[in-house]
Amino acid sequence: MGKTIDVMSLYPKDMNIYGDSGNVLTIRRRLELYGYEPVIHQYNQGDDWPDHVDLILGGGGQDSGQSKIIDDFFKRADLIRSLAFHGTPMLMICGMYQLFGEYFETVEGSRLEGIGVIGAYTIGKDVRMIGNLVEHSDDFGDIIGYENHSGQTFLREGTSPLGSVDEEGRGNNGEDFTEGARFNNVIGTYMHGSLLPKNPLIADFLIRNAVERRYGELNDGRLATDAQTPDQAAELARLDEVAAKAREVAAARPR
């Protein structure tokens, strides 16, 4: 019997833009190649919450998407907060990153509450920050992606960013050189791209935490299970080589 890992794609119908589903695909394929048995739960508003969730992935959305999921999201807020507090790994991109913060204030001044997992708030602006972006992180090295957002996010004191950016006019708010945020094993970020295919270290961070929480500490820290075949190991290495080349090209492209 293989080791199952339950992965939840949060609101894929309404909060999935700019290829965020690529993150789900990446997690699923890497789990397979490490020798696990991934089960993907597509959770949309009104659905039953699955019995078991090891890892949660959320994407960006349009304003209309946010308003469609918001009631259900508040209904699930306590549950999600508790999972985050106890260390369930989560990756929240763009729109869901904003909703994981304290609140979002629109350009017109109306306020949309978040669920406060991440100590940050977002102010809507008329100007979008758009373009290729490389940010730097101690844990993940250079993170390669593409940002596209008009909300400016400000981190509360004590909240760690995911990474730092080199120039003004990019990242969380264009001013303080931060991008993204972390709380426990939750990562919030504006990076599309999709993020995980070109940043396998982040994918493996999420997988590692999901596996360890479910099955205990890993032997020698190795992610691969005994069920992993040599072919699977080789395919994983090949994917990472292709990712390395894609990263190199992406990092050299204009904004």
Partner 1 sequence: MAWNSFATPLIGKGVRWASRTLHHGGSAFPGKIVETIDPTFLARTLAQLPLGVVLVSGTNGKTTTTRMVASMLSDLGLKVFTNPTGSNFTRGVVSALLQTVSLAGRLDADIAVLELDEAYAVHFVHQVRPRYSLLLNVMRDQLDRFGEIDNTARLLGKAAAATDGTVVLNREDPRIARLARLAPAGTGVRYFGLSDDLKRFFPSDDDMATTVSVEGETSAASPSVAGSSASAGSEAALPADVTLTAVGDHAATFLMDGDEHHTDVRLEGVYNLYNAAAALAVVRAVRRDAIARTPSVAGASAGTPVSDFRARLRRFAQAKDDDLIAAVSRVTPAFGRGEVIDVNGSPTELLLVKNPMGFRLSLASFPPEGADTMIVINDEYADGRDMSWLWDVDFTSLRETGVAQVSGVRAWDMALRLGYDQVPVGAVDTDIDAALAAFVARNPGTRKHIYCTYTAMLKVRAALGRIAHVADAGVGK
245 binds partner 1 (CB under 8 A): yes
**Of the listed pieces 79-87, 173-181, 221-229, 247-255, which binds partner 1 according to CB under 8 A?**
247-255
Residues 182-201 that bind partner 1 (CB under 8 A): 192-194, 197-198
Give yes or no: 192 in active site. Answer: yes
**Position 38: which residue type?**
P
Q: Which of 41, 136, 149, 192 is catalytic?
A: 192
Q: Nearest 5°: CA angle at 117, between 127 and 101?
A: 15
- Residue 71 or residue 248: which is nearer to partner 1 going by CB? 248
Q: If binding is defined by CB under 8 A, does position 167 make contact with partner 1?
A: no
- Single out the catalytic residue among 86, 94, 136, 149: 94
Query: Residue 31 corresponds to which tokens in the numbers above?
Result: 């789990």
Whether 128 has a binding-site annotation, put simply, is: yes
237 is a site residue for partner 1 (CB under 8 A): no
Which residues, numbered 139-158, are part of the site for partner 1 (CB under 8 A)?
146, 148, 150
State yes or no: is 86 an active-site residue: no
> What span, in angstroms and rounded, lies between the C-alpha atoms of 90 and 54?
9
Cα separation, 111 vs 123, whole angstroms: 9
Say which residues have a Cβ less than 8 Å from residue 43's Cβ, sequence separation at least 6: 8, 9, 10, 11, 12, 49, 50
CA angle 158, 173, 244 (to 5 degrees): 90
Q: Which of residues 29-68 bind partner 1 (CB under 8 A)?
A: 29, 40, 42, 62-64
Q: By CB under 8 A, name the one of 218, 227, 237, 242 that touches partner 1.
A: 242
Which parts of the chain fold into alpha helices (H)? 21-34, 63-75, 77-85, 95-100, 195-198, 200-215, 230-251
Q: Are strands 178-179 and 163-164 parallel, antiparallel or unpaired?
A: antiparallel
Could you list the residues that contact partner 1 (CB under 8 A)?
Answer: 9, 12, 16-22, 24-26, 28-29, 40, 42, 62-64, 128, 130-132, 146, 148, 150, 192-194, 197-198, 238-239, 242-243, 245-246, 248-250, 253-255
Active site residues: 94, 192
Residues annotated within a binding site for substrate: 128
